[in-house]
Amino acid sequence: MAQWYNGTMVQWYNGTMVQWYNGTMVQWKKGVSLLFVLNIKLNRCKMGNFQKLRVWQASKDLAIKIYRLTQSNALSKDFGFKDQIQRSAVSIPLNISEGDELDTNKQSVHFFYIAKASCAELLTQVIIGSEIGYIKAVDADQLISDCRYISVMLTKLIKARNP
């Protein structure tokens, strides 16, 4: 049964007074004036453990492939292109990890979109690198496939975390 307390609608849940903020149940902790959030949303991914996310693992592996690739071929001599392709590759797992550690889904999704954009940037650089002869066709095909796979996983993660 709902009641009003200090101008806010509250209700009792399992003997504890609770309030609702933005679709999330917030519970008064007995004897403490602070609130803590109970995660009751269905289909919400657990936040704060980015190393277990498959998309983070795949993007980290892709960044390592790019770093190794840029050390061993003609691309290593083009410092501008090398620097840019490395930055976009490492940006993907960095933004995933940063987004996953944030407090709200809205903040997380923002960083996941940045990671997705970095993935598109890397895909473009791989295509260009292949066409100008910096990246072998077989390597480029694998990298392009990896980029598309990561982009699809990011899309699914964004949908899962979008409030």
CA distance 92 to 96: 6
pTM: 0.71
3-class DSSP state for residue 77? helix
Please report the pLDDT score of residue 19 as a whole number: 60
What is the residue-level pLDDT of the chain in tens, covering all 163 positions? 555 544 455 565 555 666 654 445 555 544 433 333 333 332 344 566 899 999 999 999 999 999 999 998 788 889 999 999 999 999 999 999 999 998 789 999 999 999 999 999 999 999 999 999 999 999 999 999 999 999 999 999 999 988 6
Domains and CATH numbers, the chain: 2-37 (no CATH), 50-161 (1.20.1440.60)
Q: For residue range 28-69, list pLDDT tens digits in order.
A: 544 433 333 333 332 344 566 899 999 999 999 999 999 999
Give the dihedral of Cα atoms 15, 19, 25, 27; nearest 10 deg.
-50
